[in-house]
Structure 1
Amino acid sequence: MQKLISELTRLYLPDGGLPEGVLARHVQGQAANPVRLAASDGRTRALAIPFPKMADGEDTQHWSRLCEVANALQIALGFPAPAVSISGENGFALWLSLEKPIAAHLAQQFLALLRQAYFPDIALRPDAASAPLELPPGLHPATGKWAAFINPGLGASFADESGLEMAPPFAGQTALLQGLQRIGEAQFLSALDKLRQAHGAMPAAGDPAPQAAAAQPGLLLKDATLEDIVRFLHAKNIEPTFRHLLPNADPVPPPRARS
């Protein structure tokens, strides 16, 4: 349990934001209290994006939308892979971790612009960047089911589930978090600037939303290799430029010159 607490603290919790004893009771299901990711000064180093089940959509539509957004975060905005959780109530969430805290108004603006660009059909709270929320793993107070981080490759199998009936193993939750990287300050500010520019050039009502960097259907999170990305971008007549490679990534041959 201590390793899990360390990972949750490293990735999502503000300095001094939640006493270790309180967090220990939370992950054991002994206290089901929402957790505030923002510090007392209003700055936050973590963002959660909920994807609730859509009442008028297909059974897996909320999962498909999560995958589209997760791929856009990595391909279009250059972020490391986010964590994925099942909510314990009615859907999924993406979890983003920042190396340095940012002001709540910047975090809220980022979430609002991201929603406008990639998931306008899903509601976003006006205080989404600062409101208390259910931090996985934990027991949801309304449903009595467990919120938990999940392997993205198994996400579709949870589309009809509101949560887990039993507490997830601490070791498994820790393993899902240990490999996650935090978003650098320059990465975040660059992504925010891209979204601001896109917002300033949004098409008129009724025009299709920009899809230049959206992932192809079925391209799920970490399952997307560099070869997949190059192939997809070439199909859109886009010449990719990679500024860095993830550790242990398979090498990609240079793109062939086009006539």
Structure 2
Amino acid sequence: MSRLAAEFQRLYAAGPDGASRALVLDVGRPSDWELLANVWRGVQLDLALPAPGIAIAGENSYQLWFSLERGCSPEAAAAFFEGLKSRYLAGIAGQRIRCLTEPPVVPAEVREGQWSAFVAPDLAPVFVEATWLDIPPGAEGQADLLKSLRSIAPQAWEAALAALAPRGPQDDGARSDGRVDRASTGEATPEAPQVTSAPAVPSAIPANFTDPRAFLLHVMNDATLPMAMRIEAAKALLPESGKS
């Protein structure tokens, strides 16, 4: 079994009883990373969940991939998705949101010349105009991205479901703003996760680059360059993303 297949199975294979361990929130048509970036940050800050995986879907959408240590029932999955939509995606047309409990294959050629792939948070915004790759992503880079992800523990899963459910202000284990009360579980409050992008730099690219990766990063982060050029630089970097 390849490293990529092993990491995918570790995170997203169904449980022994066939219950789903993978919950995929797909938002797009048209693609809009800011919508899902808000969910990506919120589930970590508000619900104390580990960061979900991020994928470009191979067509006009982004995906968040949640992994459960134990499989969940269809009813629990539906409640989780409804809670996320109510809290973070209110007002977004229903046809733009897909909630999947049977994970699609990633990476895969979704359409001719359009490959889905897992991406690092800092690369996700670059693909907003074309949420796919023209060529298959590197398997080792994809495996490295998945290796950094953690599954949601049963206690955290139950706490998240409780926080997302309609409730009264006096319910135990939740604050009035719906965030998980970490004081009741002894957990430290994490700092807000960041989806960062480097500040714009002058469009004149220095001629003294000796490191190809540094050059590609410079191009990708230069907001004054054409988006098509920045996307090509991000695609070239993608197989390397997730490596230390």
Range into which the TM-score falls when normalised by the shorter chain: 0.5 to 0.7
Which position in structure 2 is the counterpart of 1:13? 13
What is the letter of the counterpart of residue 76 of structure 1? D
Which position in structure 1 is the counterpart of 2:133? 164
Select which of 64, 82, 87 maps to 2:52: 82
For 1:65, what is the secondary structure of its paired residue?
helix
Unaligned runs of 5+ in 2: 170-175, 194-244
For 2:130, what is the secondary structure of its paired residue?
coil
Tell me how far apart the structure 1 counterparts of residues 48 and 95 of structure 2 sit (CA, whole Å).
23
Unaligned runs of 5+ in 1: 17-38, 55-59, 202-210, 215-239, 250-259
Alignment of 1:89-108 (within 5 A): 89-108=59-78
Which position in structure 1 is the counterpart of 2:145? 176
Select which of 158, 183, 186 maps to 2:155: 186
Which position in structure 2 is the counterpart of 1:22? none
CA contact (8 A) 1:87 1:162 kept: yes
Structural RMSD (CA):
3.1
Select which of 94, 97, 105 maps to 1:123: 94
The C-alpha deviation readout for 1:100-137, integer Å capped at 9, x for no partner, is 1110111011101210111120426998344x453211
Tell me how far apart the structure 2 counterparts of residues 72 and 127 of structure 1 sit (CA, whole Å).
19
Alignment of 1:203-218 (within 5 A): none
Tell me how far apart the structure 2 counterparts of residues 124 and 46 of structure 1 sit (CA, whole Å).
21
For 2:42, what is the secondary structure of its paired residue?
helix
What is the letter of the counterpart of residue 14 of structure 1? A
Select which of 47, 63, 68 maps to 2:23: 47
What is the letter of the counterpart of residue 64 of structure 2? L
Which position in structure 1 is the counterpart of 2:187? 243
The Cα shift of 1:143 comes to 4.5
What is the letter of the counterpart of residue 153 of structure 1? D
Count of residues paired in the alignment: 181
> Using a 3 Å threshold, how does the CA distance of structure 1 residues 46 and 145 change in structure 2: closer, same or farther?
same
What is the TM-score normalised by the length of structure 2? Answer: 0.65
Which position in structure 2 is the counterpart of 1:224? none
> Using a 3 Å threshold, how does the CA distance of structure 1 residues 45 and 6 change in structure 2: closer, same or farther?
same
The Cα shift of 1:53 comes to 3.5
Which position in structure 2 is the counterpart of 1:226? none
What is the TM-score normalised by the length of structure 1? Answer: 0.62
Percent identity between matched residues is: 28
Tell me how far apart the structure 2 counterparts of residues 117 and 155 of structure 1 sit (CA, whole Å).
22
CA contact (8 A) 2:26 2:98 kept: no
CA contact (8 A) 2:22 2:103 kept: no
Tell me how far apart the structure 1 counterparts of residues 2 and 78 of structure 2 sit (CA, whole Å).
31
CA contact (8 A) 2:69 2:151 kept: yes
